[in-house]
């Protein structure tokens, strides 16, 4: 028998409400019924209502909060708490006696949709409270490390660290590695001092979270820097001690949002590893400080809806197959990406705030090798091969550096995931080795400002300041990072030392001596005792010395009394009366690029500098404009004797100026080709006016040559006059190389790319260089014969030209039998090959 079920009007009304709720949830996103939900505006910033349509809980993943504990009786938290630990007093439960940990817990997992208080990002969860901080919120790295280890050893998969220290330590680094090796995700706040990212957020595998305001801009107090991953809202309304609720702000409140989002994702995809969780959070972040990564906002604002909805990309940095497409990454972080095959090129841009060493580590199959090319901010190219699991150093210069990665096996077809770890070591300052008092670097006896670094373990810097005359002395030490807590020591030889350490992390130290007497004064700059590790940052030592000074070069008031100076040697002097004139004389033995510099001029003084040749004929002159304290004359000088005359209308006797002449011998008009392996080729082509250097008398032979530069050289070399009409999407007639490219294209020496571009400013590869030269010889390539190089095969587009050029003796590969066709060609390589082609006969 078939029964027909009747539906009552009440049941129909309930069904209608349920359908309406479902539709509203689908269109507008799920909302919680907690009374204070309207005060939690930050949840809308990260699009939680849309995310809750997909997931609202994770009861399988334990989230540990290493903090001040949690209010264990808070009715909005209690259902989501699991057993934790009190490391401050192990006999007691991890009850919060500060409030901070309770604030963090509410952001993550205040019970949602329970008609009480606020809602956490996770409505149902497992929160493990670990008390590792005192009631005043203070704590040390040992207790922090024990808290992380306890969480890892007791089943936590996510550890939230809304705390931080300014110093790096090997101990904490080992703890972080311990967690990563056991597939535990660490999420940490960057800090709230408007300075550098704190540790543990600054370690490469910790997810570092900064804070933004309600308008989406970074709060000025949020710490920033190369270690930041993402940002999240700074202001929250959350749980508080005693079962209450309150407004809180800071990166401490931003970090737990990211941790909770990670838990939602892990609940949907428990197979993911921590590095994949980190990468997915970066991938789905919303750009708020420009496209891609930057040191203020990382990869952008946390978007939980995108995190749960969007598919995970094998390589979020694609497309980055060209230098122009290079994706900016941190100089100090670990990321994940993938090679689509052996021909896939991966370009990254890395910004260095200082000169130093960039360490590049690659995690991939140890049987595979990757060719890594580095181009520093000056354009210098270096390259090496890295096996999976290795880390290699590259010398970097301040500014934008580029990395190009490509599998050594160009024939590999399989997708090859890898992890790239970057770390940075700052440069060794020019005053080393001065770690001991007897090695103190002797400073000139004058007011001055210098910069130094702590580039190695237990680095301290000693300086000796000779005081020739009685006077006053002021010493000031500042730093550009809170990771340095400077300590100043001052000692007059034979007397007791004075140590000055009044300020906290990053604060300046000042010591004034109203009266100093002739003798040597020692100055030691160090980082506070607990901060023994190298630091990425600089300190500035400022010395203000006021004394009655005597010009050591007098008498030199006439040209025939001119002080004879040695090149590249500083000379200090005074102009202490309105009639005082200082003459200097120097000699140039061969054609050279000469620089005459005058520095350390008092900020209120103008000095007139006049240059004369050996017959006292005026050549040039200059003057500084206060408050500028320096000036210089630079130019190409023929061999001979020269004179410099200094005068002023504002005499001074309390500060020495510094006069210095440097000379760089010129060869062919360049300072940087003498002794270079391509010297003869460069001189030959330069003498025929086929090539140009740069405005600073350099040729930069090891700099990659661009496609426009190559076209210009070929046009001149082969006297190309005909040009065809060209239409490339990235080249217009205003580009300096337009006519050269048009003529080279007419001659068939250069082609555009299939996408309609010609990439005029992109470096030429060795294969492209070879193809250009071959086409200038009207070569079409050989089909027969064996492939001459080990790293190309018959399927490679340029193999035929390589065969012919090799067979006719125009090219040769490397000692290992490779040609490295996709490696950037340098200006020297291009000139060497071209000079061979242009030789008579």
19 falls within a domain: no
Banded pLDDT at 531 (limits 50, 70, 90):
confident
Give the mean pLDDT of 210-216: 94
pLDDT tens readout for residues 64-114: 999 999 999 999 999 999 999 999 999 999 999 999 999 999 999 999 999
Strands in 416-426's sheet, in edge-to-edge order, are: 334-339, 416-426, 356-363, 391-396
Give the mean pLDDT of 281-285: 97
pTM score, whole prediction: 0.75
User: What distances in angstroms separate CA 746 from CA 137, 306, 720, 725, 778, one per listed residue?
Assistant: 73, 50, 9, 9, 13
Q: What pLDDT score was predicted for residue 12? A: 34
Phi, then psi, of 144 in degrees rounded to 5: -60, -45
Give the mean pLDDT of 246-262: 97
How far apart are alpha carbons 67 and 150 in whole angstroms? 13
Q: In terms of domains, do 82 and 225 share one?
A: yes
pLDDT tens readout for residues 534-550: 999 999 999 999 877 78
Confidence check: pLDDT of 26 > 50: no
CB 209 within 8 A of CB 232: yes
> Does the CA dihedral 268-273-278-284 come out positive or negative?
negative
Q: Give the residue from 274, 309, 344 where a domain finishes.
A: 309
Query: 3-state class of 322 per DSSP?
Result: coil
Q: What pLDDT score was predicted for residue 800? A: 94
Give the mean pLDDT of 419-430: 96
Lowest-pLDDT choice from 22-26, 87-91, 331-335, 503-507:
22-26
Length of the chain measured in residues: 841
Give the mean pLDDT of 178-190: 97
Confidence check: pLDDT of 1 > 70: no
pLDDT tens readout for residues 613-658: 999 999 999 999 999 999 999 999 999 999 999 999 999 987 899 9
Q: What pLDDT score was predicted for residue 782? A: 86
Banded pLDDT at 121 (limits 50, 70, 90):
very high
Domain CATH number, residue 41: 3.40.50.200
User: In sequence order, what DSSP letters do the residues of 73-93 get, joined into one string?
Assistant: T-TTTGGGB---EESSSTTS-
Confidence check: pLDDT of 6 > 60: no
Confidence check: pLDDT of 28 > 50: no
Q: Around Cβ 812, how many Cβ atoms within 10 Å? A: 11
Give the mean pLDDT of 656-661: 96
Q: In terms of domains, do 303 and 373 share one?
A: no
Residue 158, by phi and psi: left (phi above 0), alpha (psi -120 to 50) or beta? beta
Q: Give the residue from 519, 547, 575 where a domain finishes.
A: 547
Q: Give the residue from 513, 547, 581 where a domain finishes.
A: 547
Residue 651, by phi and psi: left (phi above 0), alpha (psi -120 to 50) or beta? beta
How far apart are alpha carbons 702 and 559 in whole angstroms? 43
Q: In terms of domains, do 761 and 805 share one?
A: yes
Q: In terms of domains, do 145 and 254 share one?
A: yes
Q: What pLDDT score was predicted for residue 16? A: 35
Give the mean pLDDT of 184-210: 96
Q: What pLDDT score was predicted for residue 17? A: 34
Q: What pLDDT score was predicted for residue 32? A: 87
pLDDT tens readout for residues 476-517: 999 999 999 999 999 999 999 999 999 889 899 999 998 888
Confidence check: pLDDT of 217 > 80: yes
> Does the CA dihedral 269-273-275-276 come out positive or negative?
negative
670 falls within a domain: no
pLDDT above 70 as % of the chain: 96
Confidence check: pLDDT of 15 > 50: no
Q: What pLDDT score was predicted for residue 695? A: 83
Confidence check: pLDDT of 23 > 50: no
How many Cα atoms within 13 Å fall on the side-chain side of residue 691?
Answer: 27
> Does the CA dihedral 270-272-278-279 come out positive or negative?
negative
How far apart are alpha carbons 402 and 377 in whole angstroms? 8
Give the mean pLDDT of 115-134: 96
User: What distances in angstroms separate CA 493 from CA 412, 450, 464, 724, one per listed residue?
Assistant: 68, 22, 10, 77
Give the mean pLDDT of 720-735: 92
317 falls within a domain: no
314 falls within a domain: no
Q: In terms of domains, do 494 and 449 share one?
A: yes
User: In sequence order, what DSSP letters do the residues of 12-59 get, joined into one string?
Assistant: HHHHHHHHHHHHHHHHH------TTGGG-THHHHTTHHHHTTT--EEE
Range of the domain at 634: 559-665
Dihedral of the alpha carbons of 527, 199, 234, 227, in degrees to the nearest 10: 100
Q: In terms of domains, do 570 and 656 share one?
A: yes
User: What distances in angstroms separate CA 198 from CA 228, 414, 602, one per listed residue?
Assistant: 10, 39, 40
3 falls within a domain: no
Give the mean pLDDT of 1-24: 33
The closest of 762, 636, 766 to 322, measured between CA atoms, is: 762
Mean pLDDT computed over every residue of the chain: 92
Query: In what helix (H) or strand (E) does residue 573 lie, and over which residues does it extend?
Result: strand 571-575
Query: Exposed, middle or buried by CB within 10 Å (0-12, 13-18, 19+), for 452?
Result: buried
Residue corresponding to tokens 């992109």: 762
Q: What pLDDT score was predicted for residue 225? A: 94
How far apart are alpha carbons 753 and 217 in whole angstroms? 40
Phi, then psi, of 106 in degrees rounded to 5: -65, -40
- Strands 85-86 and 582-588, by their bridges, are unpaired
Q: In terms of domains, do 274 and 379 share one?
A: no
How far apart are alpha carbons 811 and 830 in whole angstroms? 11
The closest of 61, 59, 51 to 271, measured between CA atoms, is: 61
Q: In terms of domains, do 197 and 275 share one?
A: yes
Q: Report the alpha-carbon angle 812-705-393, nearest 5.
A: 80
pLDDT tens readout for residues 755-785: 999 999 999 999 999 999 999 999 988 888 8
The maximal CA–CA distance of the chain, rounded, in angstroms, is: 130
Q: In terms of domains, do 294 and 332 share one?
A: no
13 falls within a domain: no
Q: In terms of domains, do 270 and 345 share one?
A: no
The closest of 766, 778, 786, 782 to 833, measured between CA atoms, is: 766
How far apart are alpha carbons 404 and 564 in whole angstroms? 50
Banded pLDDT at 46 (limits 50, 70, 90):
very high
pLDDT tens readout for residues 704-727: 999 999 999 999 999 999 998 899
Q: In terms of domains, do 740 and 817 share one?
A: yes
Give the mean pLDDT of 795-808: 93
Banded pLDDT at 131 (limits 50, 70, 90):
very high
Catalytic positions: 67, 100, 252
How far apart are alpha carbons 317 and 238 in whole angstroms? 36
Q: In terms of domains, do 166 and 218 share one?
A: yes
Within 224-381, residue ranges assigned H as helices are: 251-268, 274-283, 304-309
26 falls within a domain: no
619 falls within a domain: yes
Give the chain's domain count.
5
The closest of 783, 793, 781 to 819, measured between CA atoms, is: 793
Q: Is the peptide bond before 606 cis (omega within 30 degrees of 0)?
A: no
Within 317-404, residue ranges assigned H as helices are: none
Domain CATH number, residue 461: 2.60.120.380
Of 839 and 36, the structure prediction assigns the larger pLDDT to 36
Q: What pLDDT score was predicted for residue 356? A: 96
Residue 458, by phi and psi: left (phi above 0), alpha (psi -120 to 50) or beta? left
Banded pLDDT at 822 (limits 50, 70, 90):
very high
């Amino acid at each position: 028998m078939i029964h027909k079920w009747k539906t009552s009007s009440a049941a129909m009304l309930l069904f209608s409400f349920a359908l309406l709720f479902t539709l509203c949830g689908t269109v507008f996103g799920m909302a919680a019924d907690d009374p204070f939900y309207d005060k939690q505006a930050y949840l809308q910033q990260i699009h939680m209502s849309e995310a809750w349509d997909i997931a609202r809980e994770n009861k399988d993943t334990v989230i540990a909060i290493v903090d001040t504990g949690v209010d264990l009786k808070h009715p909005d938290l209690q259902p989501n708490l699991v057993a934790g630990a009190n490391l401050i007093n192990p006999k007691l439960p991890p009850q919060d006696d500060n409030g901070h940990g309770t604030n963090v817990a509410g952001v993550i997992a205040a019970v949602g949709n329970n008609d009480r208080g606020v809602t956490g990002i996770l409505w149902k969860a497992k929160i493990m409270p670990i008390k590792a901080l005192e009631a005043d919120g203070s704590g040390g790295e040992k207790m922090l490390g024990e808290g992380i280890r306890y969480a890892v050893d007791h089943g936590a998969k996510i550890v939230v660290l809304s705390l931080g220290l300014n110093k790096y330590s090997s101990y904490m680094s080992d703890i972080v590695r311990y967690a990563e090796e056991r597939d535990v995700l660490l999420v940490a706040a960057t800090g709230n001092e408007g300075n550098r990212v704190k540790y543990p957020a600054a370690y490469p595998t910790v997810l570092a979270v900064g804070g933004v305001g309600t308008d989406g801009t970074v709060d000025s107090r949020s710490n920033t820097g190369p270690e930041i991953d993402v940002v999240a809202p700074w202001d929250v309304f959350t749980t508080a001690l005693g079962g209450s609720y309150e407004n809180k702000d800071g990166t401490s409140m931003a970090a737990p949002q990211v941790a909770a989002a990670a838990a939602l994702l892990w609940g949907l995809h428990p197979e993911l590893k921590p590095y994949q969780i980190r990468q997915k959070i970066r991938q789905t972040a919303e750009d708020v400080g420009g496209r891609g990564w930057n040191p203020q906002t990382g990869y952008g604002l946390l978007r939980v809806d995108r995190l749960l909805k969007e598919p995970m990309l094998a390589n979020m940095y694609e497309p980055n197959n060209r230098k122009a497409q290079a994706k900016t990454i941190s100089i100090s972080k670990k990321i994940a990406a993938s090679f689509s095959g052996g021909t896939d090129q991966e370009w990254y841009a890395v910004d260095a705030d200082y000169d130093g060493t960039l360490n590049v580590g690659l995690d991939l199959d140890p049987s595979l090798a990757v060719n890594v090319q580095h181009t520093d901010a000056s354009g210098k190219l270096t390259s090496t091969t890295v096996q999976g699991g290795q880390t290699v150093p590259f010398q970097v210069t301040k500014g934008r550096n580029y990395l190009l990665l490509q599998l050594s096996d160009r024939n590999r077809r399989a997708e090859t995931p890898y992890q790239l770890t970057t770390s940075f070591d700052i440069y060794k300052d020019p005053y080393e080795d001065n770690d001991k008092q007897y090695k103190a670097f002797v400073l000139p006896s004058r007011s001055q400002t210098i910069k130094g670094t702590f580039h190695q373990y237990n680095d301290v810097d000693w300086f000796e300041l000779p005081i020739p005359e009685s006077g006053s002395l002021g010493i000031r030490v500042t730093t550009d990072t809170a990771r340095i807590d400077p300590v100043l020591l001052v000692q007059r030889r034979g007397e007791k030392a004075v140590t000055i350490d009044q300020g906290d992390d990053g604060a300046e130290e000042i010591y004034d001596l109203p009266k100093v007497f002739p003798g040597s004064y020692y100055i030691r700059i160090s980082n506070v005792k607990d901060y023994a590790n190298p630091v990425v940052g600089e300190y500035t030592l400022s010395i203000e010395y006021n004394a009655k000074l005597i010009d050591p070069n007098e008498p030199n008031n006439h040209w025939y009394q001119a002080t004879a100076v040695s090149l590249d040697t500083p000379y200090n002097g005074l102009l202490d009366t309105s009639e005082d004139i200082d003459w200097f004389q120097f000699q140039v033995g061969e054609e050279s690029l000469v620089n005459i510099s005058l520095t350390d001029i008092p900020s209120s003084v103008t000095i007139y500098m006049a240059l004369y040749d050996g017959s006292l004929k005026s050549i040039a002159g200059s003057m500084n404009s206060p408050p500028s304290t320096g000036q210089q004359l630079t130019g190409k000088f023929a061999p001979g004797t020269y004179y410099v005359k200094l005068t002023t209308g504002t005499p001074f006797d309390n500060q020495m100026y510094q006069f210095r002449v440097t000379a760089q011998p010129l060869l062919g008009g360049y300072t940087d080709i003498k002794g270079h392996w391509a010297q003869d080729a460069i001189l030959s082509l330069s003498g025929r006016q086929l090539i140009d250097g740069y405005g600073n008398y350099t040729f930069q032979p090891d700099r990659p040559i661009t496609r426009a530069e190559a076209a210009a050289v070929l046009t001149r070399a082969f006297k190309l006059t005909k040009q065809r009409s060209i239409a490339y999407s990235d080249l217009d007639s205003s580009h300096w190389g337009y006519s050269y490219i048009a003529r080279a294209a007419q001659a068939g020496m250069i082609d555009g790319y299939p996408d309609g571009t010609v990439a005029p400013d992109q470096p030429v590869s060795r294969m492209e260089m070879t193809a250009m030269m071959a086409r200038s010889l009207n070569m079409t390539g050989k089909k027969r014969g064996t492939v001459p190089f080990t790293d190309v095969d018959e399927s490679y587009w340029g193999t035929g030209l390589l065969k012919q050029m090799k067979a006719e003796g125009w090219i040769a590969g490397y000692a290992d039998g490779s040609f490295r066709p996709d490696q950037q060609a340098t200006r020297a390589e291009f000139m060497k090959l071209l000079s061979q082609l242009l030789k008579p006969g």
